[in-house]
Amino acid sequence: MPELPEVETIARGLRPLLVGRTITGVSILGPHLIPKRGKNFEEQMIGKRILDVYRRGKILIVELDNMNRLAFHLRMTGRLGLMPSGEKPGQHVHLLLALDDQTSLFFQDQRKFGTCALFAAGELEAWPFYAGLGPEPLAMDKEEFAARLKGKRGRIKGLLLDQRFIAGIGNIYADESLFRAGIHPALAADRLTPGQIGKLHAAVQDVLTEAIAAGGSSIRDYRTAAGLAGAFQETFQVYGCKSLPCHRCKGIVQTTRVAGRTSSFCPRCQPRP
């Protein structure tokens, strides 16, 4: 599932190709998108100019004229990219937006969990999911992170995955950050010492920054806007490394369930609380 670094990579790849373009045609090929597309979707989209492409949490946003915004949630297998207009779209392409330079933006999604919705001015901020998103981890300093942790119940891993606590982190980057900080995923959030909070804050920022620089992590379907695989999966320390020796201590990486999710950790580097 694309997390912050993957969606950021897609946004950065699409931005120079989309900004300044005008939408000249709309084809909805996936009927499951219809209830989420807004009223008169085609009518509203045609003629609109693309002003910006950016990310908030795991949501990719295409900003159009008059503060209209098209928001994509890629979920499990969603993918966005450009193809020459007139070419036959690939399998599982559910939406095509033709542009004025003979290219088309496609939204492909094998598992169909991804969504796409058009928001008029002010509507995106009024969407409860969007309004409830926590801060961006790369824009949050250590003091804010510590303040947000104060009095929080539950396991630290569950909290990192909670999009209302912090936006954009999923299973991969939660596990890799906790490993770097030497913190067990099941540690109660309110038991983190100030030293551990500082280490975790730094680990989250470092892991996300390195993953963006690597073009994200490609485990199954994720591809950049140019159709390339990311490279960060090659540096995973614990995620997907069950039963393999830890690079740091040669202990064996294990998995446990925390907050309903499989969590990979090294029992020596991340001692059980």
Residues that bind Zn ion (CB under 5 A): 246, 248-249, 251, 266, 268-269
CA–CA separation, 238 vs 173, rounded Å? 10
Q: Please, which residue, 75 or 248, has the CB nearer to Zn ion?
A: 248
At 174, which helix (H) or strand (E)? helix 171-181
Q: What secondary structure does DSSP assign to 98-109, as a single string?
A: EETTSEEEEEEE
Among 21, 58, 155, 199, the active-site one is 58
What stretches of the chain adopt beta strand conformation (E)? Answer: 23-28, 50-56, 59-64, 69-73, 78-84, 93-99, 103-109, 115-119, 254-258, 261-265
Could you tell me which of 126, 180, 188 has the C-alpha nearest to residue 156? Answer: 188
Query: Is 28 or 252 the residue whose CB approaches Zn ion more closely?
Result: 252
137 is catalytic: no
Residue 63 bears catalytic tag: no
Which residue lies nearer to Zn ion by CB, 47 or 273? 273
Query: Which bin fits 240, alpha (ψ -120 to 50), beta or left (φ > 0)?
Result: left
Query: Rounded distance, CA 180 to CA 206, Å?
Result: 9
**CB closer to Zn ion out of 119 and 179:** 179
Q: Which of 36, 56, 148, 261 is catalytic?
A: 261
- Closest distance of CB 270 from Zn ion, Å: 8
Please identify the residue of the shown chain whose CB is closest to the bound Zn ion: 246
Catalytic status, residue 16: no
> Active-site residue 5, yes or no?
no
For residues 267 and 183, what is the distance between their CA atoms, to the nearest angstrom?
10
Residue 211 or 266: the one with the smaller Cβ distance to Zn ion is 266
Q: Which residue has the tokens 């906790």?
A: 178
Q: How far is the CB of 268 from Zn ion (least distance, A)?
A: 5
For the chain, how many residues are written? Answer: 273
CA-CA distance, 114 to 101, in Å (whole number)? 26
Name the minimum Å distance from CB 184 to Zn ion.
12
Closest distance of CB 250 from Zn ion, Å: 7
> CA dist 68 to 18, 45, 61, 133, 189, Å?
15, 9, 10, 20, 39
Q: Minimum CB separation from Zn ion for residue 272, in Å?
A: 13
Residues carrying an active site annotation = 2-3, 58, 261
